[in-house]
Amino acid sequence: MGDSSKTSLQVEPSDAQATRFKMPVDSEQKATEFWLFSFAAPHMKAFHLSWFSFFCCFVSTFAAPPLLPLIRDNLNLTTTDIGNAGIASVSGAVFARVAMGTACDLVGPRLASASLILLTTPAVYCTSAINSASSYLLVRFFTGFSLASFVSTQFWMSSMFTPPKVGVANGIAGGWGNLGGGATQLIMPLVYELIHHIGSTSFTAWRIAFFIPGLMQTLSAIAVLALGQDLPNGNYRKLEKAGDKHKDSFGNVFYHAVTNYRAWILGLTYGYCFGVELTIDNIVAEYFYDKFNVNLRTAGMIAASFGLANIVSRPGGGFLSDWISTRYGMRGRLWSLWVVQSIGGVLCIVLGLMHNLSAAIAVMLLFSFFVQAACGFTFGVVPFVSRRSLGLISGMTGGGGNVGAVITQLIFFTGSRYSKETGITLMGVMILCCTLPILIIYFPQWGGMFCGPRADATAEDYYAAEWSDEEKAKGYHSQSVKFAENSVREGGRRRRPPLTVPVEATPTHV
């Protein structure tokens, strides 16, 4: 890092920095390609560290639901206790996600995520020692905080990958992380059965099983700290000391996030794709176990298949978002988000009406694809809402996801007012209603679902507007300008900038 400043007078800075990376990069040193099976530092290494640590958080947060048929008898829980704990498990992350967004903006995703993950692992280990409804609620509440690492994942990917690739990077990182919610429904019953088979009584075996997610979480966070790095050029602290990165203030970051209406709308709609996904993770195993009388392992497998669809569905959403934007720009991203999420809502309505096991599984799988793809589509749009407050806006959207889960579980799945099937159908109706606000998102430079862009608006104006004139004079907004240049493709095919001088013409001023 110190060498480049010595040689910058002699060699083009972009050359010196570009040759340091295995992957091709743009003017912000963000990777312009995505090599899934590579661990190339720092871009792909960051990708693998972030998705896996996030995966472990999901495994821990949803480790209890597949074992509920045992836990509810061991602790003498009622349906109300279970419902409350389910709400608690996703409510902690509402504010944690917003705080995480700010933390990423201020200290960087590596430190922010690892700290959060290591601070929440004690809650996972202590799950083995609980003995009442209130202690069950508390451990699920504190374990759920770790879901805020979603924000650091998305932030990290948005820092490492260029705009045309950010959708697919965010989609796979988010999707493979969310996969944990499905994998845990398989892992936990299997680990439990193994331990039970070795000789432990059932009420002890489930407790021992919780050490697995706890260990996974601890080890993945240590890997992030030891092997990860915040930005292509280094970590925040080093870069700030070298003067290469301006240290922004919380007040400014906060102001520019909360005054952007698009952040609020995306938070709401994310509550009805991701929030629904969280709700289903909490209720689906018990739903199949009780309604269709399958055993614990089968219920776990069915529940797992919902979350496992994330391997392809959410990344698919991100990939399709990027692909649609090559033809139709941001307007295509918005349209596809609305269509996919609405179809998810319809399928949710249908799921609650299925009384036959195979039909229910089939509808659930289709539903999982659409609702998870919608999450991928959402984070194809989020990186473009703001450059200055990217972290906080990712946090608001992510937090909105959890709010959706809290509200949905509170209204439909607590106590005995609605049967679970009615709750699922009504949740589908709510998805349809809460997805409508996407219709009013509008970017002056790229347009919205029903309106085209304003002729005189540019991406540079949009992102530079987040900085005051003094800040611009000091050059603090340089990253935003670079980002605006790199996101020119969001205008869609028709708005591509005209090509420069044709090769055949000779310069006149030789």
Distance CA 116, CA 147 (A): 9
The contact mask relative to other proteins for 290-309 (x = CB under 8 A, - = no) is x-------------------
Coil, strand, or helix at residue 492? coil
Minimum CB separation of residue 81 from other proteins in Å reads 8
Distance CA 105, CA 506 (A): 47
Q: Are 51 and 318 in contact (CB under 8 A)?
A: no
Name beta bridge partners: 443: 447
- CB nearer to other proteins: give 69 or 167: 69
Of the candidate spans 36-44, 200-208, 262-270, 363-371, the one that interacts with other proteins by CB under 8 A turns out to be: 200-208
- 208-227 residues in contact with other proteins (CB under 8 A) are 208, 211, 214-215, 218, 221-222, 225-226
Contact pick of 5, 80, 249, 468 for other proteins (by CB under 8 A): 80
Of the candidate spans 76-84, 265-273, 276-284, 364-372, the one that interacts with other proteins by CB under 8 A turns out to be: 76-84
Contact pick of 17, 202, 252, 305 for other proteins (by CB under 8 A): 202
Sign for the CA dihedral angle at 53, 58, 63, 64 comes to positive
Burial 103-133 (b: 16+ CB within 10 A, else e): bbbbbbbbbbbbbbbbebbebbbbbeebeeb
Contact pick of 1, 24, 73, 356 for other proteins (by CB under 8 A): 73
Find the radius of gyration of the CA atoms of the chain. 23
- Contact between 201 and other proteins (CB under 8 A)? yes
Minimum CB separation of residue 294 from other proteins in Å reads 13
The contact mask relative to other proteins for 90-129 (x = CB under 8 A, - = no) is ---------------------x--xx--xx-xx--xx-xx
Tell me what percent of the chain is helix, strand and coil, each rounded to the nearest 5.
75, 0, 25
Q: Is the peptide bond before 42 cis (omega within 30 degrees of 0)?
A: yes
Contact pick of 204, 305, 458, 479 for other proteins (by CB under 8 A): 204
Which residue carries 């589908």 as its tokens? 428
- CB nearer to other proteins: give 118 or 457: 118
Distance CA 14, CA 8 (A): 9
- Contact between 197 and other proteins (CB under 8 A)? no
Of the candidate spans 237-245, 255-263, 368-376, 476-484, the one that interacts with other proteins by CB under 8 A turns out to be: 237-245
Which residue carries 């992380």 as its tokens? 177
Distance CA 65, CA 253 (A): 37
Mention every residue, 6+ apart, whose C-beta is less than 8 A from residue 492: 325, 327, 328, 329, 330, 331, 332, 446
- Chain contacts with other proteins (rule: CB under 8 A): 69, 72-74, 76, 78-80, 111, 114-115, 118-119, 121-122, 125-126, 128-129, 131, 201-204, 206-208, 211, 214-215, 218, 221-222, 225-226, 237-238, 241, 286, 289-290, 415-416
